[in-house]
Amino acid sequence: MALTYNSQQNETIAAIATGISESGIGIIRISGPEAIEVGERIYRNRKGRSGVRSWKANTIHFGYIVDPRLLPEGEAEEDHDNFTSEYASAIVDEVMISIMRSPHSYTTEDTIEINCHGGVYLMNRVLQLVLDNGCRMAEPGEFTKRAFLGGRIDLSRAEAVMDLIRSQNEFSRRTSLAQLSGSVSGKVRELREKILYEIAFIESALDDPENYSLDGYPEQLRVKCDVLVRELNHILDYSKSGRVLKEGIRTVIVGKPNAGKSSLLNYLSGQERAIVTDVAGTTRDTLEESVKLGDVVLNLTDTAGIHETQDKVEKIGVERAKEALDRADLILFLLDTSAGIDAEDREIAELIQRKTAGGTHCLCLLNKSDLSPKMTIADAKALFTSNDQILTGGTPIKFLMISITSGEGLEQFRHQIQEMFHTGEIAAKNEIFLSSLREMREAESARDSLELVISSIDQGLSEDFFSIDLMNAYTSLGRILGEAVEDDLVEEIFTKFCLGK
Ligand SMILES: Nc1nc2c(ncn2[C@@H]2O[C@H](COP(=O)(O)OP(=O)(O)OP(=O)(O)O)[C@@H](O)[C@H]2O)c(=O)[nH]1
Ligand SMILES: [Mg+2]
């Protein structure tokens, strides 16, 4: 591992490890080489003795936090029969203190945890005493950073700790726990080992051609790289769905004026959130609302109908609609079947195709099926197939007849979304996926490097070309685990942690 302990590691740090609120109990955590000394200075038992230094690891002790400045010198050396009444003014709180000794603690350093009474004032007072007696305030995430630097957890698990603390629903709690247990790390390690084996094989063969033959090797390597690329793509696919489950699907409703966009938003949110009228151009600004749909949350944006307009306010609305379209994971494209397809629909379809070509999902909803329809699903499909080359490689668009008024097709609509993001699948299957964008970027770059190996093989290039890209793939995957990462990346990740963790 490229990282080693730096000077900062020699400092002892402290922070309130529980939330700062009017709770029944709060924990102050102290970690580092001076932790036990700090405890020695500010802890006294019923008889007024300290003795933290002699405590066994993993034990917990009742006693008092005292302000040593208010006690006479040497008082801790002897028993006091009435310590609590005699020195009442020096006692700050009645506590339980636990001790963990290096390397058997979360940070791998000596650690003291003071369980004091909760309450903002009291906890801050105890913390201040701790800081006055030999340590400094911990930075956000610094305890977990030390756990990582001490080699106790890898980066993937460190990030899982942060996610776990922040998790807001059952799914995200479960996946963070899975990541914490090392399932992601395990998979990434497995892929890395396979790559390393190939690097080692090529190196050996180049060094010692008599014992290792490269005859027929490129073909074998190609098959192996193919499998690795597929595995990484699979993980990436699920990772995107996983993010969607955790954070919700950024969904934009687009369509020309009067198609029924606001009606759809109201239907999904179960309330009259947006104004609906038969006047084209009712919605002039974007409007947001989160709704739960089975397993997933849709972060919906209703937009102003996209069309050519001279109206100043409407123009801004149309611009905003286009911006929302750019950011979306899912586009709900509404067509008004009672009106028939026109130039405005074509213009929107073109904007959408650019997005689906880049992997954005799109569901085309042919609304108002209760009225006499002037278009079919085939007509709607024709909006897109006119421009075949953009479609290649993109996400296929799905089509559905619905009526918000009569409810036709709305059940299928819900189903379709779950299917598109295969959310039911991952929630049920305990699939492995990368939960942070950082990890996904690294996995993508590993996949790209492996694809370069394949193309070098196809071009008949020599073996040393393979090694370079294999090494890059190996390094990228290593970064997911935090091996050989630059210091500032570590800095960036850990400052995202909550204080005291
Ligand atoms: N018959 C019928 N009418 C519908 C349906 N969905 C929406 N409408 C009506 O269509 C009109 C326009 O609906 P909105 O939801 O305001 O349409 P919009 O796309 O938000 O329109 P703008 O905000 O102007 O861009 C309203 O009168 C709705 O009641 C449907 O499924 N069937
Ligand atoms: Mg509207």
Q: What is the distance between the terminal CA atoms of the chain, rounded to a whole angstrom?
A: 23
Mean local confidence (pLDDT), 411-420 = 85
Gyration radius of the chain over CA positions: 31
Q: What top-level class would CATH report for the domain 7-152?
A: alpha beta
- Rounded to 10 degrees, the C-alpha dihedral 226/228/232/235 comes to 110
Q: Flag whether pLDDT at 329 surpasses 80.
A: yes
- 87 against 164, higher pLDDT: 87
pLDDT at 5: 42
- Ligand at minimal distance from the CA of 272 is 1
Which has the minimum average pLDDT: 25-34, 39-48, 72-81?
Answer: 72-81
pLDDT at 14: 93
Could you say which ligand is closest to the alpha carbon of residue 334? Answer: 1
Q: Please tell me the distance from the alpha carbon of residue 405 to that of residue 351, in angstroms, as a whole number.
A: 28
Which residue is closest in CA terms to ligand 1's atom 27? 278
Structure confidence at residue 390 as a pLDDT band (50, 70, 90): very low
For ligand 1, pick from 254, 271, 272, 276 the residue to mutate: most ligand atoms within 8 Å of CB. 276
**Interval between CA 316 and ligand 2 midpoint (Å):** 15
* Least distant ligand from the CA of 257: 1
Please give the CATH number for the structural domain made up of 161-241+434-482: 1.20.120.430
> Minimal CA–CA distance to 83: which of 71, 95, 73?
71
Q: Which atom of ligand 1 lies nearest, measured to the CA of 275?
A: 16
Give ranges for CATH 3.30.1360.120 in the chain: 7-152
Asked if the model's pLDDT at residue 259 lies above 50, the reply is yes
Residue 111 β-bridge partners: 31, 100
* pLDDT of 463 higher than 80: yes
> Residues with Cβ within 5 Å of ion ligand 2?
261-262, 282-283
Determine contact, residues 99/112, Cβ cutoff 8 Å: yes
pLDDT, greater one: 431 or 257: 257
- pLDDT higher at 486 or 447: 447
Which segments of the chain belong to CATH 3.40.50.300? 248-404
- Confidence category of residue 429, pLDDT binned at 50, 70, 90: low
Closest ligand by atom to 366 CA? 1
For residue 288, is pLDDT > 90? no
Which is higher by pLDDT, 61 or 150?
61
Closest residue by Cα to atom 3, ligand 1, is 368
**Quick one: pLDDT at residue 316?**
85
Ligand 1: residues whose CB is within 6 Å? 255, 257-263, 276-278, 280-283, 304-305, 367-368, 370-371, 403-405
pLDDT for residue 15 is more than 60: yes
Instruction: Report CA(293)–ligand 1 centroid distance (Å).
Output: 22
Ligand 2 centroid to 325 CA: how many Å?
Answer: 15
Going from the C-alpha of 191 to that of each of 83, 399, 450, 464, the distances in angstroms are 62, 39, 12, 21
- What is residue 357's predicted lDDT score, i.e. its pLDDT? 80
For residue 43, the CA-to-ligand 2 centroid distance in Å is: 66
User: Which has the higher per-residue pLDDT, 456 or 467?
Assistant: 456
Please give the pLDDT value at position 253.
95
The overall average pLDDT reported for the chain is: 83
Mean pLDDT on 193-218? 85
For the CA of 257, the closest atom of ligand 1 is 25
Over 90: is that where the pLDDT of 169 sits? no
Task: For residues 84 and 91, give the distance between their C-alpha atoms in angstroms, rounded to a whole number.
Answer: 8
| Distance between Cα 278 and ligand 1 center (Å) | 6
For residue 496, which of 443, 432, 435 has the smallest C-alpha distance?
435
C-alpha 373 – ligand 2 centre gap (Å)? 21
In the chain, which residues fall in CATH 1.20.120.430?
161-241+434-482
Q: Decide if domain 248-404 falls under CATH 3.40.50.300.
A: yes
Query: In angstroms, what is the span from residue 260 Cα to ligand 1's centroid?
Result: 3
Q: What is the pLDDT of residue 431?
A: 58
